[in-house]
Amino acid sequence: MAKSAFAKKRASQFWINFVLTAICIIWMIPIIGILITSFRPSEDIFKSGWWTVFPHKEDVEIDRIVLDDSVDVDGPIEIEGITKTFEEWRQGVQLDDGRTITWYGNKRTRTLVVSDRQWVGFATNLNLKNYRDVLGGKTISYKDAQGNTITRVGNNLSGAFLNSLAVTIPGTIIPILIAAFAAFGFAWLNFPGRNIVFTIIVAILVVPLQIALVPILQDYVKLGLNGTFLGIWLAHAGFGLPLATYLLFNYISTLPRELLESAFIDGASNFTIFIRLILPLSVPALASFAIFQFLWLWNDYLVALVFLGEKNQTVTIAVAQLVGEKGQDWHLMTSAAFVSMILPLVVFLGLQRYFVRGLMAGSVKG
C-alpha cells in the first residue's frame, strides 16, 4: 500500500518534470536559435537552418552524373543498372547501398545528383565576425544569399550601446532620488494638500504614456530639449515617478516612527535625517525599483523613438532600424539583438531576487 503510493508519487513527479521540461525547451528554442545564428557566417545562415549546426544525418552530395546527348530523356533512363522514368528520377531513387540519385532541376539539365546520408555538423563554422561587423562603425563586407559580396557601413552598435548607458543610468538614478525625497515628504512631513496630491499619484499609476507624448513633444521642440539626453531623462523620470514614489512611500512609511523621532529630538534636520537615516534604510526598496526601472529603460523603444529619434540612438532603436532596413540580413540582426540583450540578461539573472520583489510590489502598474 505504502509502496504503491510511493510509486504513484514518483510517476506524478516524472510527468510534472516532463511537462515542465517540454515547456522550458519550447521557451528557450527561439533564443537558442538566434544565439547560434549570430555566430554563423551570413552565407551559411541563408543556406540552412540554424538547427543544422548540431550533428545530424543529412543527404550530402558526393557525385554528379551528367547524361551524354545519346540518352533520350523522355523515355526510360538507365543509370547504374536501374531503369526509371524522368519523373521517378526526379523524385529520387534510393540505391541498395544507401545512396540516393536525384535529378537536378528540369529535363534540360541532364544532370543527376548522387547523395549519401552522412553525419554532418561536427565542423560547424562559428565565429565572432557578425559581432565585430555590427559593433563597429567602419565599412564591412559580407556575402548575401546569392553569394554576392556586399559592402556597407557598419551599424556602430557600440555607439548605440554607450548611448543606452547614458540614457539608462541617469534615467534610473534621477527618478529614484526624486521619488525618495518625495516619498519621505509624503510619509513624514505635514503640508497642506498632501492627501489630495498623493491620491492623484495613485490615480496616474496606470495612465498610458501615449497621453503625454504629443504635448510633451511640443514642449520639447519649443525648449530645444528634443533629441537631448536631458530631455529623455526628464521624460523617463516623469513616466517612472508615480510608481517609484508609490513604492518607496509604501516602504518608507513603514519605517519605525521612534527611530525618526529620536533623531529629530537629537536636533537633526529633515534633510540630514533623510540622507543619513532614510536613504540607507531604504536600500532594499531602492534596489528593487532600480532594477525594475533599469530594465524598463534599457528595453524601452517608444519613448526613445519619440524623444531621441535618430540622434543619440539607443540599442533598441538601432536594432529596430536594422530590422526595418535590412530585413533579410539575419547575421547582423541576430548579433545586434544579442548585443542589445546581453546587459539586461546579466543584470536580470544576477539580481533576479530584487527584481521579483519590485515586481510584486509594483503589480498595480500596467
Question: Residue 296 and residue 290: Cα distance in Å, rounded?
Answer: 10
C-alpha cell at 170: 541617469
Q: Which is nearer to another protein, 86 or 151 (CB)?
A: 86
Q: Tell me how long the chain is.
A: 366
Residue number, 72 or 275, with CB nearest to another protein: 275
Shortest separation between residue 252's beta carbon and another protein, angstroms: 11
Can you read off the three cell numbers belonging to residue 12?
506524478
**19, burial (CB in 10 Å: exposed 0-12, middle 13-18, buried 19+):** exposed
In sequence order, what are the residues at sequence separation of 6 or more whose Cβ sits closer than 8 angstroms to the Cβ of residue 264? 273
Q: What gap in Å lies between CA 18 and CA 21, rounded to an integer?
A: 5
SS3 114: strand
- Nearer residue to another protein within complex by CB, 1 or 97: 1
Instruction: Give the DSSP per-residue string, 30-61.
Output: HHHHHHHHHTS-HHHHHHS-GGGGS-EEEEEE
Which three-class secondary structure state does DSSP give residue 79? strand
Work out how close the CB of 96 gets to another protein at its nearest, in angstroms, rounded to a whole number: 26
Number of CB atoms found within 10 A of residue 12's CB: 10
Considering the complex, what minimum distance in angstroms separates the CB of residue 360 from another protein? 6
43 close to 143: Cβ distance less than 8 angstroms: yes
Q: How far apart are CB 98 and another protein at their closest, in Å?
A: 21
Amino acid (one-letter) located at 22:
A
C-alpha to C-alpha distance for 49 and 165, rounded to whole angstroms: 34
**SS3 of residue 56 by DSSP:** strand
Question: Can you state the percent helix, strand and coil of the chain, rounding each to 5?
Answer: 65, 10, 25
Beta carbon nearer to another protein, 75 or 148: 148
The one-letter code for the residue type at 221 is: V
Q: How many CB atoms lie within 10 A of CB 161?
A: 18
CB of 203 to another protein, least distance (A): 5
Nearer to another protein, 29 or 78 (CB): 29
Nearer to another protein, 73 or 204 (CB): 204
Q: Which is nearer to another protein, 83 or 106 (CB)?
A: 106
Nearer to another protein, 260 or 319 (CB): 319
